[in-house]
């Protein structure tokens, strides 16, 4: 029934993709579906970067106007989520990168392109149905309180026909 | 600290959400293409795009019998038996072209892949008035069939 979206995460030096990821946990390990109990982020450090994309399958002709932003979830002290859109894959790192704060309203949302670099994904030969990557990284500082941070809601919006 | 930004996308993060409204395209020779054929196979909208110049009516309908009709010859939008009145409805229109897409807003959070998935249908047309200016008349229709005129 129309387009079907699959959230995917890529990890490792070899860009190993996991489709239909089970969670988006940030942690101290470069892996999809990671367990935060096993891989907590030590206060003052950053998480490993996450490279997330979306794959569209199903029956569709065009996907356009793809936007991504953090729509809910307050930060605790010293916490921040950084993001960049349409980035090339690189082996995820826990070193703080130069990305900006993730947008929190649709008006300033990240605009996503197709993997082929177009603003509209048009179904057809040579079109993968993938978006480019969104790179996410969670930051903490020495003042970040111990324990769990608040849960977040992200919104992915797109037009489809 | 322990980050629990745990967007549980489990259970398949891509449920095939049923569409509330499906389309029917009717062409000048009386032929039609339905979004789902008699075998339930979905047709791509591309089939309609390929014959845009011959498209006369484009309808959206749901199981409750709500029906939105775009008349691409006269530049009119109908809802069930009502022909909508809107600003510039009497304006001379040329080069009338269909506008149709579904806007998806997917919220993902920790306990489920989709906290919500809202689909709004954008349906209408654009045209050039006698001065050559491009105008758009677009309805935004929610999944229950509530609608408003954009802009």
User: How many domains in chain B?
Assistant: 1
User: How far does A130 lie from chain B, in Å, by closest CA?
Assistant: 14
Question: Could you read off the pLDDT of B36-87 as tens digits, one per residue?
Answer: 998 888 999 999 999 999 999 999 999 999 999 999 999 999 988 777 766 5
Q: Do B14 and A6 touch (CB under 8 A)?
A: yes
Q: Do B13 and A20 touch (CB under 8 A)?
A: yes
Please report the pLDDT score of residue A89 as a whole number.
98
Cβ-Cβ contacts under 8 Å for B119 (sequence gap 6 or more): B17, B19, B20, B102, B103, B104, B105, B143
CA angle B15, B60, B137 (to 5 degrees): 110
Give the residue, A93 or A24, on which the prediction is more confident: A93
Prediction pTM value? 0.89
3-state secondary structure of B36: strand
Average of per-residue pLDDT across B3-17: 42
Distance, in Å, from the CA atom of A27 to the CA atom of A25, rounded to the nearest integer, reads 6
| B130 belongs to a structural domain | yes
Question: Could you read off the pLDDT of A52-66 as tens digits, one per residue?
Answer: 999 999 889 999 999
pLDDT exceeds cutoff 90 at A1: no
| B1 belongs to a structural domain | no
| pLDDT band with cut points at 50, 70 and 90 for residue B108 | confident
CATH fit for domain A3-160, picks 2.60.40, 1.10.10, 2.60.480, 1.20.1440: 2.60.40
Distance, in Å, from the CA atom of B124 to the CA atom of B22, rounded to the nearest integer, reads 15
Distance, in Å, from the CA atom of A152 to the CA atom of A80, rounded to the nearest integer, reads 11
Q: Do B104 and A159 touch (CB under 8 A)?
A: yes
Stretch 18-77 of chain A: residues touching chain B, C-beta under 8 Å: 20-27, 36-37, 40-43, 47, 57-62, 64-65, 71-73
Mean pLDDT across chain A? 94
Please report the pLDDT score of residue A54 as a whole number.
95
pLDDT exceeds cutoff 60 at B2: no
Paired residues of A67 in beta bridges: A111, A157
Chain B residues close to A67, C-beta within 8 Å: none
């Amino acid at each position: 029934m129309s387009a079907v979206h699959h959230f995917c995460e890529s990890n490792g030096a070899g860009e190993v993709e996991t489709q239909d990821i089970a969670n988006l946990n940030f942690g101290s390990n470069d892996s999809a579906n990671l367990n935060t109990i096993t891989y907590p982020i030590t206060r003052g450090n950053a998480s490993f970067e996450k490279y997330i994309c979306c794959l569209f399958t199903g029956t569709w002709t065009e996907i356009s106007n793809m936007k991504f932003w953090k729509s809910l979830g307050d930060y605790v002290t010293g916490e921040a989520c950084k993001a960049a859109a349409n980035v090339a894959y690189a082996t995820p790192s826990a070193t703080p990168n130069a990305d900006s704060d993730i947008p929190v309203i649709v008006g300033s949302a990240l605009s996503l392109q197709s993997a082929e670099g177009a603003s509209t994904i048009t179904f057809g030969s040579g079109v993968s149905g993938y978006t480019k990557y969104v790179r996410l990284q969670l930051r903490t500082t020495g003042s970040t309180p111990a324990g769990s941070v608040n849960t977040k809601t992200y919104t992915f919006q797109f037009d489809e026909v | 600290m322990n980050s629990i930004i745990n967007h549980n996308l489990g259970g398949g993060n891509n449920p095939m959400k049923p569409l509330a409204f499906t389309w029917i395209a009717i062409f000048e020779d009386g032929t039609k293409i339905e979004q789902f054929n008699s075998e339930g196979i979905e047709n791509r909208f591309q089939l309609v795009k390929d014959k845009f110049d011959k498209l006369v009516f484009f309808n959206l309908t749901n199981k409750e019998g709500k029906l939105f009709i775009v008349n691409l010859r006269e530049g009119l939008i109908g809802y069930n038996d009502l022909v909508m009145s809107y600003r510039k409805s009497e304006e001379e229109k040329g080069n009338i072209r269909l506008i149709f897409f579904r806007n998806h807003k997917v919220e993902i959070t920790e306990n489920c892949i989709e906290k919500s998935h809202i689909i709004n249908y954008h349906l209408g047309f654009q045209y050039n008035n006698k001065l050559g200016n491009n105008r758009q008349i677009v309805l935004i229709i929610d999944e229950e069939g509530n609608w408003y005129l954009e802009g």
